[in-house]
A = this chain, B = another copy of it.
Amino acid sequence: MEEKIRISWDVVDRCRQAARSITDDIMVHIHENTTTTVERTVLRLMGIEGSDEQGIPLANVMVEQINNSGLLGDGVAFWLGNAMQATDEGPQKIAEQVGRGEFALPDLPRQEPAIVRQKVAEVAERGLERIKKKRAERESLMKELPPGPQPWLYVIVATGNIYEDVKQARAAVEKGADIIAVIRSTAQSLLDYVPYGPTTEGFGGTYATQENFRIMREALDDGGREAGRYIQLVNYSSGLCMPEIAAMGAVERLDMMLNDSMYGILFRDINMKRTFIDQHFSRMINAVAGITINTGEDNYLTTTDALDEAHTVLASQFINESLGFKSGLKTQQMGLGHAFEIDPDLEDGFLFEIAQAQLIRQIFPHAPIKYMPPTKYITGDIFRAHLINGMFNLAGVMTGQGIQLLGMLTEAIHTPFVQDRALSIENARYIFNNARDLQDEIMFVPYGRIQQRADEVLLKAASMLESITEKGLMQAIEDGMFANISRPQEGGKGLDGLVKKGEEYYNPFSDMFKEELSIHE
């Protein structure tokens, strides 16, 4: 791709360097700690499924048991392995017995650590293989039925009922959608466990459960075969169960995950120390599984002004990128988020949107940039909304965005009706097709408003990042530097799930992932 706007690559380098230094600090914290959800994820990856008779997932029961005994610093894997060695049973059997209260993990006699690790590693190996098999399956399906050209059409379903979601998703695929995201029920991100089974009752979204993933995956494989292109499925590796959902997605062959290093902190008031650890482990899973993440910088523009705070989006992308690299993600897996959220009544606002989209496109040339639609200034005027969505689609195709999350004409009213989605797909298809090559046909005037705006945003991002290197990212968040939201380092939900790793901490997946992903610390 030729350079449409001139990029000051030296400033970009400054940004990347600052981001690296910022995330180095975070990585220190990450290496020293683990969390309950990370440990539950380990159990899930070891093949543990199901819930106890009160409906509490067995993974939760077991991790809680260890944690209550103050032993989680060893890693739950150790205690599971210990039980395996002591009882000579497999992980699931042990989990079920623990679930029925037949014994408690910490009560079993401590076995020889080397043997325990050896036992665990064998099972864990199979867990990893399962993920790699799913990845290979995706790769071969994608070869067989290649997805359409970018920008990909990404729509959401959110009826609350997985079976209605399936209908709506299949309808969308028939109309031309490339990517389907099943939005989660309103409060799921704050649940410290993952619900189980197929679900039909959610508010503003459908619960993320492994069974729901499976049901939708099957429907989309089927719809994709009919449509002749592979359909990507998205869910949320986000909230208090970030890594567990990553693990579920990995084995159910999801293709993308909303997954951000700071979203939960800022928008769900989840404790930052917890989140930073969770995001790292979840990203390693996504990395190994070949899942593309979608970061959430677009959300900043819903609470702040998109014109004034555009640079915070870019700064955050550099941080997400850096943390992503440190978790083994490839650039090609980074659906960095941004959004078309400038007040539509602003004179020349479209120029500034183009400037931002083009800037981000060029700075991250190999990342499948995720472009979010206008939402904040959308009102109940569905005609106006449809039109603004059209301009958003034009900006997307004019600047070569990778993933276009389609705006709905009823954005201000309700989660999409079946026709809303159809109309938005038609909107995007019309614009993308009718202006397909516009991108190659235009150049921007060298010292014009678009270039100037891009320069300004990049410079501001650099100075923001440099100021964060001084105070540290946690302090920056406390100071409200992102999304105008301030979160205290010791506040927020989920802090109680943070556990300092012991000397003997053992997590077979961490080790395997690092090797698999060539992460050198």
- Chain B residues, CB < 8 A from A368: none
- Chain B residues, CB < 8 A from A263: none
Pairwise interchain contact A384-B351, C-beta atoms closer than 8 A: no
In the assembled complex, the CB of A403 is this many whole angstroms from the nearest CB of chain B, namely: 21
CB of A13 closer than 8 Å to a CB of B: no
Pairwise interchain contact A441-B444, C-beta atoms closer than 8 A: yes
Pairwise interchain contact B445-A443, C-beta atoms closer than 8 A: yes
- Name the contact of A344 in the complex, choosing from B345, B423, B430, B443 (C-beta under 8 A): B430
Chain A stretch 91-115: residues in CB contact (< 8 A) with chain B: none
Pairwise interchain contact A430-B348, C-beta atoms closer than 8 A: no
Chain A interface size range: 35 or more
Copies in the complex: 2
Using A443-B443, A443-B445 as known contacts, say yes or no to A384 and B430 having CB atoms under 8 A apart.
yes
- Chain B residues, CB < 8 A from A383: 382-383, 386, 409, 423, 427
A449 to B344, CA, bound (A): 30
The closest CB in chain B to the CB of A427 belongs to B387
Pairwise interchain contact B434-A445, C-beta atoms closer than 8 A: no
Q: Say which one of A250-258, A287-295, A388-396, A508-516 lies at the interface with B.
A: A388-396
In the assembled complex, the CB of A149 is this many whole angstroms from the nearest CB of chain B, namely: 11
CB of A431 closer than 8 Å to a CB of B: yes
In the assembled complex, the CB of A272 is this many whole angstroms from the nearest CB of chain B, namely: 37
Interface residues of A, Cβ cutoff 8 Å to B: 344-351, 382-384, 386-388, 390-391, 394, 409, 423, 426-427, 430-431, 433-438, 440-445, 448-450
A387-B390, A391-B394, A442-B444 given; name 13 further pairs at CB < 8 Å.
A344-B430, A348-B434, A350-B434, A350-B435, A350-B438, A382-B383, A384-B427, A440-B448, A440-B449, A441-B450, A442-B442, A442-B443, A442-B445
